[in-house]
Structure 1
Amino acid sequence: MKLKTLTIATVTALGMATTVNAADTNIRFDGFPDFDSSLKVILPDFEKETGIKVDYLMNNHGDHHTKLTTNLATGSGAGDVIVVDVEKIGPFVASGGLVNLSEQYGADKYAESFAPYAWAQGKGSDGDIYGMPVDLGPGVMYYRTDVFENAGVDVKQAITDWDSYIKAGEELKKKDVYLIASAADVAQAIIFTTVPEGEGLYFDAKGEPVVTSERFVHAFEVAKEIRDKGLDARILAWSNEWYEGFRNGTFATQLSGAWLLGHLNNWIAPETAGKWGVSHLPDGIYGSWGGSFLSIPTQSQHQDEAWKLIEYMTTRRDIQLKHFETIAAFPANTTTYDDALFQKEVPFLGGQKARLLFADVAKNIKPVAPAKGDHVARSIILENALMEVLDEGKDIKTALKEAERMIKRRTRNL
């Protein structure tokens, strides 16, 4: 995906007899798609109300966060408002490059309006807020209704547990359809959604890695069974093959966050509208799959204006709902959950009232505190150890023990 600079604030009426407020300010919003689709809808009114002009810079998810890592380390180059994925919020807060929103703007007054687990994720070790939750990622399973019907598979039965899910995959295989793009997504789902109380995703309360625990062994075992039985397409997320797989029905299910709906509908596979449904994740698990925060880098020269935009996007009920309706980014602000929008049918999903399902998942997610070493551990576990098991047949417990040693070594000085 190419870097895009999209500007919504342009002076178009130079000849009009209007007085430009001297306080008018240009700020920049740095994010990743599909935020641009949402900003096109919500920024015009914000600019009209505040006189603050907003430019926005979109880059693909990975490059956006790589760039921000450099920006925060060097103290220059970041936008005034930045989007931070939940996987990066811990290390970004720990970097010291973000404004303390509790101290500077009294953000804590909004705490009761947000999903508790998301609010906790935006905090630093001092208990203050550095990232305002803007959307959540309730974990769900998208599936091709036409493919399931053709294979004679009942989706409710398929999600009973992981054995049922795999059995459904074996039936789908008979119709030359893969169960899922990558078995790695199943491992990720289990790791993310079965965190014991008192643990983080990869570390315990004392900062020690927990990656050799039964949670990780089980996740790897289920993923390996799917791979060994030839039920996944071995296609990685956010690749061209992945996009084509959605369009062509190459695979029947995708475990993801609710937000995937926006991507499928808006640009990945709009032509498949009506052929999709969404369900809870298999095995009765509830968990978060993604989610975004808005932060202000300390290097920003327009912090007050940046805060106004963050307040607008996170605390305004109507704006949270517009963000949701436009790109299916599930509201972090829980005051929206009684809105009539949740009762509306979603045409892309064949008329399913999917937002009610998203809300049910969101209400059942338990808080998992981020750790500053999460990004390191995630890379080692999901990109190294898991791939060695799936692609090279490495013994699971051996791979996890080696991963634990590597995590300890690489997080020693964080």
Structure 2
Amino acid sequence: MERAILVGCELPKVSEEHFYYSMLELGNLAKTAQADVVGEVTQKRERIHPATFLGSGKLMEIAAFVEEMDVDVVLFNSELSATQVRNIAKVIDARILDRTQLILDIFAMRAKTREGKLQVALAQYQYLLPRLSGQGISLSRLGGGIGTRGPGETKLEMDRRHIRQKMVDIKKQLDVVVKHRERMTARRNDQDIFRFGLIGYTNAGKSTLFNRLSDAKTLEEDQLFATLDPTTRKLGFTQGYTALLTDTVGFIQDLPTTVVAAFRSTLEETANVDVLLHVVDCSNPDYVQHEQTVLGLLAELEMQHIPILTIYNKADKQLPYFIPTQPNYVQISALEPSSQAILKEHMLWEIKQIWQPYIVTIPVSDGHALYQYKQKTVVIEETFDEETESYQLKGYQARKETRK
């Protein structure tokens, strides 16, 4: 494990509490990336130093700490510019990484599907392109022979051209994957299947809930970004109806714009659902900020119009001062078996709010129609009339006009 120290700059516009939890989260990100955190250095400033991020005295202090503790990497709790990285590296003899690079590194570890790997590569290239810095004339293709006179093409220009070409190639491959998912989505729409999407702050317990509800085998870990690739599974209810449930990548505060842009196609898988299940860890002291981060990103992704059921998870460990902040919510612990039934009742209620009620009479001879109704609609009441030898079903079915 690489030895790392955390570095943060506390600005006047940020509360002490928010800054504390932000640094705590940086430490958790470092541990997820398999780093051994050996120290933390912070500084209060009126504004970020444009050239070195922190003051020169604080950088010297970090340099001494790095040498004394044999530190391999210094992790900054903000996004650094190329100039800042270059200037910091002149003082500190260790690798300099910012928060964005750390998140992208974890994403690269977690990506399993072809699409996930492509999206991570695209985000890394988008981050790297404006940060490429050449070393002047020494990198030019200049020599003393024929055909080598003139400015030539600098290594910096070659690198930029190479990266731009890579990005074009990746985008073409992603387009193919996205079109395939769109065909899958169109097929699901034709089947009138109700869709739920799990969203929430990273490590809120989405994958644990997903596994308990759908008998899936998604990775469950007490780490940030345990799930990166979206997974969709069938979700059965006691009445016989089957819906779809999608698990997605967790959100995080200050999620880099390059990451949001690269993962837009993945997150759009969740945009095509009927109800969002927003999982919140009610044992986390910073749960309100986590809620606001997720709701802010939903607005950025133009998904705020989708109905939301908030699931306050980890109720067995909830904070003594916890107060629900969302009007439509349920409080459970994903690890308790009884929670599944409670949550499914709330999910059925959500279906009934969106789908339309129906009453239908089916003759006993039409077993296929009876089977179809039980599979594709929510049947809440079933009676058999002996005189007419028919079944009367009451329930809820998809509103045809809302399907695209």
The TM-score with structure 2 as length reference comes to: 0.26
The TM-score with structure 1 as length reference comes to: 0.26
More helix by share: 1
Q: Which has the higher contact order (CA 8 A, sep 6+)?
A: 1
